[in-house]
Structure 1
Amino acid sequence: MTDLFSKFDPLIETREQLLATGLTDPFNLVMERVVSPTVAICNGRETVLLGTYNYMGMTFDQDVIAAGKQALDEYGSGTTGSRVLNGTYAGHKACEEALKDFYAMDHAMVFSTGYQANLGIISTIAGKDDYIVLDIDSHASIYDGCALGNANIVPFRHNDIDALEKRLKRLPEGAGVLVVLEGVYSMLGDIAPLKEMVAVSKAHGAMVLVDEAHSMGFIGEHGRGVAEAQGCIDDVDFIIGTFSKSVGTVGGFCVSNHPKFEIMRLVCRPYVFTASLPPSVVATAATSIRKLMHGADKRAHLWENSKKLHAGLKALGFQLGTDEPQSAIIAVIMPDLEKGAAMWEALLHEGLYVNLARPPATPANMTLLRCSLCAEHSSEQVDQILGMFEAAGRATGCIG
């Protein structure tokens, strides 16, 4: 009988080879204590955090923490139920109201994770005889949503407007079509040409869903994401987002102006058949979202951090994922996994945590050190980070 784990043997072998060199396991780092949005204790030493997606630094905001504590005291630790049964508390509705106000949209639906938001909305909207046209570099949750709904998947080359249009032209006339895009792509930190892509999609009668997980709170005048920044948010049918990035907690959501959207609460399986978020979580999320509505100064500082780190790493001789900073994500491209892992550990020894990203999660089989800046990083911390990269880069031979 076949061992069902045998398909993982190549990955097991790669991992064992890396660990045999004495490398710290980069995918099982334990943070013993978190001091602030930008600092934690890892392996007994103070470590600067540059890989947490905590873009707006809301995890230690005093108002956010107070709201969570109050909800914990008043409503207990969990709902023990689905949103369509006993799992909707006043806090869930307040969180959805905050989202509607933040996006200036008619409908908002909160999920237990961002992954479930994509899984649920995509699989429910587009079914067996429908078509989903999506960027080939789309997040795993988007692909999984396509698979769950059993729709026909039509990928196109990353950020290629012409390739999108060619795919749309080939679809059967009268077919149901959903185009799925992302505002910021999480591996390289590059943004999509949403304005042009949304226009092309609408010209071919498609509905459009944009995942703004890595741009919500930061990009756009009001922090509504790339669609807002590019002036096409009113033409987008569905925006998906998460609470685990700029909002600073956990959960996911979809906002929409579609007049029939509320029926999703009864037909979306990942919403109907899972427990709702704990009261303390939705209280922290709602408070954070409302504060992000007034986060212009933090957004401006985060842009300064991004520009400074990008320019500094480029000057040191590192190869980066984008020519110019486009988001709060800056990807440093490594020659291979072995060198990337060595650089990751050298940075950790310097007192810096980043993400080591490897195939198949990365585009074009790249190994990346992925940096996620935070609005709470000081300018001095960015200088410190550049010094750590220089020391680790020279120690590992990644830069001359």
Structure 2
Amino acid sequence: MSSIFAKFSGTASALGGLIESGGRNPFGVVIEKVVSSTVGVIENRETLLFGTNNYLGLSQSQNAVKAAQDAAAKYGVGTTGSRIANGTQSLHRQLEVQIASHFNRRDAMVFSTGYQANLGIISALAGKEDYLLLDADSHASIYDGSRLSTAQVIRFRHNDPDDLHKRLKRLEGTPGAKLVVVEGIYSMTGNIAPVAEFAAVKRETDSYLLVDEAHSFGVIGENGLGVAEAAGVEKDVDFIAGTFSKSLGTVGGYCVSDHPEMDLIRVNCRPYMFTASLPPEVIAATMTALDEMKAHPELRTQLMDNAKRLHGGLHRIGLNASKQVSPVVAVTLETLGQAITMWNRLLEEGVYVNLSLPPATPDNRPLLRCSVMATHTPAQIDKALEVFASVARECSVLS
């Protein structure tokens, strides 16, 4: 009998090589204890956390913790049902009203994860007569949403409005709607999308625009609404999707829109209809974290100051770091061996970052992906830079 696991033989071989090369599984790291938003215990060592996406440090908000405890005591720990069955409690609607109001939008849908927000909205919106135009570097959730849809999928060059315009012009006169999907900040590289230019293409070609602000919500814009707000074109965006698991430090996803048909999406969106809804304690913690984010805009200022400090420091060291300044700072390496060795040595020296490997990386080169927090101190960032420089020289990445 054929083994159902035979298809994973390549993965098994690659993973075995990674473990053999570095002595540990880079995808199995356990944070044994959370000391603070910026420090955790890994392998019995206090370790600086530079790979958690906890941009505002709100996962450790004591107000959010208290709100979660109170909600669990009042409502229980789960809903046991989907949003269209018994899984909508008053807290869920309160959060949707709060998110819609924060974005100045007519309506909001809340999902159980950010992944499901993209999966659900894209697959529900794009039907078999429609076209999905995706940035080539789109997140897996966007590509999976396109697969679940029955639309025709067209990729355009990363962050290239001209290439998008050319591809949309070729579709001129064809039946069906055209939905363009881009991200605000790209999670692997930290690249920031030229959303104003994409919005101009959208207007000219009479298409729809969805922006995934997962890594830019709470980070960029006067009110922390993301790249579309910062670019002054938020009202040109038909749908804004995102997650609570980054800046707000909880879990869940959302989509906001001014289109009055959003309630039709609720009953045509399989990842919304057939998944248990978020538990009350998560909803309460998310609403409290959102209030904190709004009450403390200085967190965004500190976050970007910290991002500039890490970004500039990595460039001064001589490493091939991200071109644009954002809370995601990626160091690109030339070989798999360099990446694995550096990642392991960084962890051993007390700095945790993400190891990103081909084919998940945009140009098939390995990345050491860092994410910065508002709560990192200058001393912690400087310590991480010191370790990066030492390890890079040790691994012959720098002369």
**Which band: TM-score by shorter chain?**
over 0.9
Q: Aligned runs of 1:1-400 on 2, under 5 Å?
A: 2-173=2-173, 174-322=175-323, 324-325=324-325, 327-400=326-399
CA displacement at 1:10 relative to structure 2 = 2.2
Q: Distance in 2 between matches of 1:265 and 1:153?
A: 23
Q: CA deviation at 1:281?
A: 0.4
Confirm or deny: 8 A CA contact 1:168 1:201 kept in the other structure: no
Write out per-residue CA displacement over residues 234-292 of structure 1, whole angstroms, 9 at most, x where no aligned residue.
Answer: 01000000011001011000011112112212111110111000000011111111221
Give the Å deviation of 1:22. 4.6
Partners of 1:157 and 1:216 in 2: CA distance: 24
Give the deviation of 1:183 after TM superposition: 0.5
The residue type paired with residue 114 of structure 1 is G
d(CA) in 2 for partners of 1:104, 1:117: 19
1:18 is displaced (CA, Å) by 2.3
Partner of 1:240, secondary structure, is strand
Q: What CA distance in whole angstroms lies between the structure 1 residues aligned with 2:380 and 2:94?
A: 36
Cα deviations by residue, 1:358-399 (Å, 9 ceiling, x for unpaired) = 111110101000000001101111111111111211221221
Between the aligned partners of 1:295 and 1:126, the Cα distance in structure 2 is 38
Q: Counterpart of 2:249 in 1: which secondary structure?
A: coil
Task: Summarize deviations over 1:158-214 as a string: whole Å, max 9, x none.
Answer: 011110001101115142110101101111101011001111012111111000000
SS in 2 for 1:21: helix
Q: CA RMSD in A?
A: 1.1
Distance, in Å, in 2 between the alignment partners of 1:381 and 1:101 is 36
Matched residue pairs, number? 398
Secondary structure at 2:82 match in 1: coil
User: Which 5+ residue runs of structure 1 have no aligned equivalent?
Assistant: none
Return the offset for 1:106: 1.1
Aligned-partner Cα distance in 1 for 2:378–2:303: 10
Give SS of 2:267's match. helix
Please tell me whether the aligned partners of residues 23 and 342 of structure 1 are also in contact (alpha carbons under 8 angstroms).
no
Compute the displacement of 1:348 (Å): 0.4
The code of the aligned residue for 1:309 comes to L
Instruction: Compute the displacement of 1:2 (Å).
Output: 4.6
SS in 2 for 1:36: coil
Quote how far apart the aligned CAs of 1:25 are: 1.0
8 Å CA contact retained: 2:19, 2:26: no
- The 1-side partners of 2:191 and 2:18 are apart by 29
Please give the alpha-carbon distance, in whole angstroms, between the structure 2 residues aligned to 1:388 and 1:90: 48
The answer (yes or no) to whether the contact 1:215–1:226 under 8 Å persists in 2 is yes
Distance 1:11 1:365 in 2: 16
Contact 2:21/2:341, CA 8 A, preserved across alignment: no
Q: Work out whether residues 208 and 238 of structure 1, in 8 Å CA contact, stay in contact via their aligned partners in 2.
A: yes
- Note the C-alpha offset of 1:99: 0.6
Equivalent-residue separation in structure 2 for 1:175 and 1:59 (angstroms)? 42
Residue aligned with 2:222, SS: coil
Of all paired residues, the percent bearing the same amino acid is 49
State the distance in 1 between where 2:290 and 2:375 align: 17
SS at match of 1:26: coil
- Looking at structure 1, the residues matched to 317 and 8 of structure 2 have their Cα atoms a distance apart, in angstroms, of 38
Q: Report the AA paired with residue 71 of structure 2.
A: A
Structure 2: distance between partners of 1:256 and 1:114: 16
Residue pair 2:68, 2:285 contacting (<8 A) in 1 also: yes
Per the normalisation by structure 1, the TM-score is 0.97
Tell me how far 1:8 sits from its aligned partner. Answer: 2.5
- Which stretches in structure 2 are left out of the alignment for 5+ residues? none
| Structure 1 CA distance for aligned equivalents of residues 235 and 371 of structure 2 | 29
Q: Secondary structure at the match of 2:32?
A: strand
2:21–2:340: 8 Å Cα contact kept in structure 1?
no
